[in-house]
Amino acid sequence: MMDNVLIELDKVGIAFAAQRRVGGGRFWALEEVSLTLRRGERLGVIGRNGAGKSTLLRVLAGILTPDRGTVTRKPISVQLLALALGFVPYLTGRDNAVLSGLMLGLRRSDIKSRLAAIKDFSELGDFFEQPIATYSSGMVMRLGFSVAIQVDPDVLLIDEVLSVGDAEFREKSGLALRERINDGRAVVLVSHDESQIASICDRVLWIEEGRSVMEGPRDDVFAAYNAALHHPA
Amino acid sequence: MRRHLLDLILFSTYAELRAERSRSYLGLIWWVLEPAMMMLVFWLVFGVILHNGGPDYVPFLLIGFTIWQWIKSCITHAGYAIWSNLPLIRQAPLPPLMFALVQMLADTVKFFFIFMLLLVVLWFMGFPPNMAYIALLPLFVIVFIFAIGAGFVVAAVVPLIPDLRFVIEQFLTILMFLSGVIFSLDAVPPDLAQILALNPILELIEATRGILMHAQWPNLMTMFRVAIESLAICVVGIAMVQRLSPRYPKLAA
């Protein structure tokens, strides 16, 4: 294994129980996916709905352990970007920011020193000290994003959440996320929006029905993907 | 990493208590009022109406019920803990064990409030503090180990078989009666009593009563046996949760 390889998946498969009943079968959300993620690399994952893209991200995040194949990872921090993770309705914005930050893997001291920045970025003002049950859904998302953007992992995993809130906040959050993406860390982005992937990623993995179809330079994979999409075999 | 997990568990416990306080109008008062109301019901039925209590029935009941309530709330709340946090477990690589532990720590904090109130009530009833109180600390450590152990076992299984939720409550009611909470088990035939004495809860509650009511130090051999049993349950519970952990992120809530 080369030195700058952070995570390597070798023929990974993930099976889910199909139904909650005695004798219910299993289905393979991932059949056989292989990929290597190197330091500083920005990898896009494309594929149709149900291809296993989100499942793949959860394997990379260390949430799912493979039922077959192997995952090799360096001792690095990996973070799946999740908004409003662990939010409790009856707690204030401040308490929720701390709780969510801890769940996202931030240290208590780091969160404390960033609370002012979180409050500022979320534009919640005095509502920051109110229970989030009193928030509109847009305000919850703004708080969620402001906390999530504080994490500073070696590998950032993003599942289609590039921006939230009204037009103005969307622009601001999109910008902040791009800063996070472009400061040299490894990123894996899942999306079926081709233009989004094209603007961020340099390499692309194409999966279909839980299998890697192709992995390589962005333009090559897109060409093959579009050819297959428009002229199915 | 360990430091971070500890921070997460402690803050989650604080959040749980905090949230619970704001969920109702009376907030904190319910921590004490709810068990007090339950005790009142049992006192009415068994002490006043059925008259099978004996002279010290009220302190007997209050102590038994306070300890039981602590164990019971740990088991029921832990039982729901992993199951109800499955959406979170699917999104972040968090150790499922912590969700059960957080609930039980919150229950333990609540227990201490209730226990303080119990002590005050007992003093007024003519059971003053005594030297044997020192034994309460190790005794409660054993109760805690037993309670979280049993809690982990239930927490581990409920996500896989949610149907168990409907059974646990009935099972705990039977266990309450078999643990000598409401009425003493002196009346049961001796051979049956021997079997019932294997139940650690029974011994733990009896030891607490001995300390608080009769200034009586717990029997060391019995406590040693109960401590071993409790530790064993705790080890089994933790092992079960850890063993099943890879399966939880794949479950639908």
Q: Which two tokens stand for residue A56?
A: 């793949």
- Provide the pLDDT confidence category of residue B151 given band limits of 50, 70 and 90: very high
Strand residue runs (E) in B24-108: none
Chain B from 180 to 199: CB within 8 A of any A CB: none
State yes or no: pLDDT of B88 exceeds 70.
yes
Phi, psi of B130 (to 5 degrees): -145, 170
Most B CBs within 10 A among A14, A77, A102, hence the mutation to make, goes to A102
Q: B53 or B245: which carries more pLDDT confidence? A: B245
Pairwise CB contact (< 8 Å): A104 & B11: no
Summarised one tens digit per residue, pLDDT across range B152-194 is 999 999 999 988 988 999 999 999 988 988 877 777 788 888 8
pLDDT at residue number A204: 93
CA B167, chain centre distance (Å): 18
Of A89, A91, A102, the CB nearest to B7: A102
- Give B83's contacts in chain A (Cβ within 8 Å): none
Q: Higher model confidence: residue B43 or residue A83? A: A83
- Chain B residues with CB under 8 Å of A61 CB are 92-93
3-state per-residue secondary structure call for chain A: CCCCEEEEEEEEEEEEECCCCCCCCEEEEEEEEEEEEECCCEEEEECCCCCCHHHHHHHHCCCCCCCEEEEEECCCCEEECCCCCCCCCCCEHHHHHHHHHHHCCCCHHHHHHHHHHHHHHHCCHHHHHCEHHHCCHHHHHHHHHHHHCCCCCCEEEEECCCCCCCHHHHHHHHHHHHHHHHCCCEEEEECCCHHHHHHHCCEEEEEECCEEEEEEEHHHHHHHHHHHHHCCC
Give how far B239 is from chain A: nearest CA, Å: 18
Best to test chain B binding among A88, A96, A111, A152 (most B CBs inside 10 Å): A88
In contact, B21 and A116? CB cutoff 8 Å: no
Chain B within 8 Å of A62 (Cβ-Cβ)?
yes
* CB distance A133 to B18 below 8 Å: no
DSSP 8-state assignment for residue B164: G
Give the closest of A65, A80, A90 to B92, CB-based: A80
pLDDT at B73: 95
Per-residue confidence (pLDDT) for residue A129, from 0 to 100: 94
* Residue matched to tokens 């990872």: A73
pLDDT of residue A19: 64
> Choosing among B21, B25, B91, B164, which should be mutated to test the A contact, i.e. which has the most A CBs within 10 A?
B91
Cβ of B15 and A95 within 8 Å?
yes
CA-based nearest residue in chain B for residue A85: B88
Name every residue whose Cβ is closer than 8 Å to that of residue B140 and which is 6 or more positions away in sequence: none
Q: What is the dihedral of CA A148, A152, A158, A164, to 10 degrees?
A: 30
Summarize the confidence of residues B96-110 as an average pLDDT. 96
Instruction: List chain A residues with CB under 8 Å of B162.
Output: 20
B12 in contact with A at a CB cutoff of 8 Å?
yes
Nearest to A63 among B12, B90, B252 (CB): B90
Question: Which pLDDT belongs to residue B42?
Answer: 75
Candidate from B8, B89, B246 with C-beta closest to A102: B8
| B250: chain A residues, CB-CB within 8 Å | 14, 16-17, 64
The reply to whether B253 touches chain A by the CB within 8 Å rule is: no
DSSP character string of B185-219? GGGS-HHHHHHHTT-HHHHHHHHHHHHHHH--PPP
Concatenated DSSP letters of B119-145: HHHHHHTT----GGGGGHHHHHHHHHH
Instruction: Give the pLDDT score at A161.
Output: 60
Is the separation of the CB atoms in B39 and B121 below 8 Å?
A: no
CB A122 within 8 A of CB A143: yes
Q: What is the pLDDT of residues A14-24, one digit of tens each?
A: 988 766 666 66
Q: Are B177 and B235 in contact (CB under 8 A)?
A: no
Residue A198, token pair as written in the block: 């094209």
**Given a cut of 90, is residue A128 above it in pLDDT?**
yes
DSSP state of B44: I
Quote the CA–CA distance of A17 and B134 in Å, as a whole number.
Answer: 52
Residue type (1 letter), B199: N
Q: Identify whether the C-beta of residue A116 lies closer than 8 Å to the C-beta of residue A60.
A: no
3 state DSSP class of B96: coil
Distance from CA of B105 to the nearest CA of A (A): 16
Contact at 8 Å (CB) between A81 and A159? yes
Confidence class of residue A174 from pLDDT cuts 50, 70 and 90? confident
Band (B94; pLDDT cuts 50, 70, 90):
very high
Asked whether B107 and B196 are in contact (CB, 8 A), the reply is no
Q: Does B51 touch chain A (CB under 8 A)?
A: no
Q: Exposed (0-12), middle (13-18) or buried (19+): which is A5, by Cβ within 10 Å?
A: middle
B250 with A80: Cβ contact below 8 A: no
pLDDT value of residue A1: 45
CB < 8 Å to B23, chain A: 90
Helix axes B200-214, B220-244, angle to 10 degrees: 140
**CB proximity A18 to B under 8 Å:** no
Nearest chain A residue to B3 by CA distance is A107
Residues A188-216 pLDDT 10s: 999 877 888 888 888 999 998 889 899 99
Q: What is the pLDDT of residues B12-52, one digit of tens each?
A: 999 999 888 877 777 778 888 887 887 788 778 777 777 76
The C-alpha atoms of residue A228 and residue B226 are separated, in whole angstroms, by 67
Contact A64 B250 (CB under 8 A): yes
Least Cα distance to A132 among A159, A168, A94 occurs for: A94
The mean pLDDT of chain B is 90
Report helix, strand or coil for B112: helix
Q: Do residues A164 and A173 touch, judged by C-beta distance below 8 A? A: yes
State both tokens at B235. Answer: 């080890």
Mean pLDDT across A52-57: 90
| pLDDT reported for residue A22 | 60
Q: Which of A13-17, A109-113, A122-126, B61-65 has the lowest mean pLDDT?
A: A13-17
The pLDDT tens digits of the residues spanning A134-153 come to 999 889 999 999 999 898 88
Give the pLDDT confidence score for residue B253 in this predicted structure. Answer: 55
Cα(B184)–Cα(B73) distance, rounded to whole angstroms?
A: 22
Chain A residue with CA closest to B13: the answer is A99
Asked if B152 and B98 count as a contact pair (C-beta separation under 8 A), the reply is: no
Give A61-76 pLDDT, tens digit per residue. Answer: 999 999 999 999 888 8
- Measured between beta carbons, which residues in chain A are less than 8 angstroms from residue B12? 99, 102
Tell me the residue length of chain B. Answer: 253
Residue B53 has pLDDT above 80, yes or no: no
> B123 versus A50: which is more confidently predicted?
B123
Option in A95, A105, A108 nearest B18 (CB):
A95
Which single residue is written with the structure tokens 């708080």? Answer: A143
**B181: which DSSP letter?**
S
CA distances from B177 to A107, B2, B98, B105 (A): 46, 40, 30, 25
Q: Read off the pLDDT band of B226 (50, 70, 90).
A: very high
